[in-house]
Amino acid sequence: MLKGLIFDFDGLIVDTETVIYETWADLYKQNGQILELADYKQCVGSDFAQFDPGKELEKRCGKTFDWNTLNQEREITIREKLKTQKERPGIISFLDEAKKIGLRTAIASSSSKAWVVGWVERLQIKHYFEKFLNRDDVKRIKPAPDLFLASCKALEISTSEALVLEDSENGLKAATAAGIQCAIVTNKITEGGNFSDSVLQTDNFSDNTLIGIEEVFDETTESFFLYLKIFS
């Protein structure tokens, strides 16, 4: 029986990923290069272990950059553009519904705890989540399963009693590695990815499309899992 939901943060609850990608794309453009979204997606939801846009730019340009200065400039731009950013449409209604039926909730993010908690406090949605697991809490971040396994432990539920909500391929890989069902809600950056292992894929939490949440019995696995009835 489903007992808990584990949410990613960046790109799922708040679309921070589009702005972050745009700052990298602008930097590439300033240096006569194009940052292909397909390349950048490799690091979405994770870190730069699989794809480092800074190292890639240096490789293409054949020179080194002053990353302390450039990253400070990027951070200023990111914070300025995100100053008025809100949670994704429909997420509040979704969380209200989840709480109404008694599901436990956690956020599991590869970002820092200060970043995530700062956001949920500013948006006044912290009370929707019981636990916060971040890169500071585990040895390995996504696509490793550590964050999701730690979240289940914190919520005191088994992996078969959880559903992960993600927006990225790295997030789905992490959930799959943890043995947890995963539903995907994409954004502009992650749409078009390979999400064949997910139980469901959509592109929004909109009130017009989110019909409700219910438990569905899967006779094949003889277990309960959450099914999101979402129609375009």
Whether 145 and 93 share a structural domain = yes
Q: Are residues 217 and 144 in the same domain?
A: yes
Residue span of the structural domain in which 36 resides: 17-81
Alpha-carbon distances, residue 117 vs 89, 129, 139 (angstroms) = 19, 10, 20
What digits encode the pLDDT tens for the residues 38-88?
A: 999 988 888 788 899 999 999 999 999 999 999 999 999 999 999 999 999
Indicate if 209 and 167 belong to the same structural domain.
Answer: yes
146 carries an active-site annotation: no
CATH code, 221 = 3.40.50.1000
Question: Is 100 in the same domain as 28?
Answer: no
Is there a single domain that holds both residue 116 and residue 225? yes
pLDDT at position 125 is 97
Within this chain, do residues 50 and 153 fall inside the same structural domain, yes or no? no
pLDDT of residue 226: 45
Pair 163, 134 in one domain: yes
Q: Which of 8, 15, 146, 167 is catalytic?
A: 8
Q: What pLDDT shows up at residue 140?
A: 95
**Where does a domain end: 35, 53, 81?**
81
Residues 56 and 157 in one domain: no
**Residue ranges for the chain with pLDDT beneath 50:** 207-232
Task: Let me know whether 25 and 126 are in one domain.
Answer: no
Residue ending a domain, choose from 34, 59, 81: 81
Q: Domain boundary residue among 81, 108, 125?
A: 81
Q: Burial letters for 106-135: b for 16+ Cβ neighbours within 10 Å, e otherwise?
A: bbbbbbeeeebbebbeebebeebbebbbbb
Q: Helices (DSSP H) in the chain: which residue ranges?
A: 17-30, 37-40, 53-61, 67-81, 91-100, 113-122, 146-155, 169-178
Tally of domains in the chain: 2
In this predicted structure, what is the pLDDT of residue 206? Answer: 67
- Model pTM score: 0.86
Active site residue 10: yes
- Contact (CB, 8 A) for 45 and 148: no
Token duo for residue 224: 């309960």
Compute how many other C-beta atoms are within 10 angstroms of the C-beta atom of residue 221.
Answer: 10
Answer yes or no: do 60 and 116 share one domain.
no
Based on its alpha-carbon atoms, the radius of gyration of the chain, rounded to whole angstroms, reads: 18
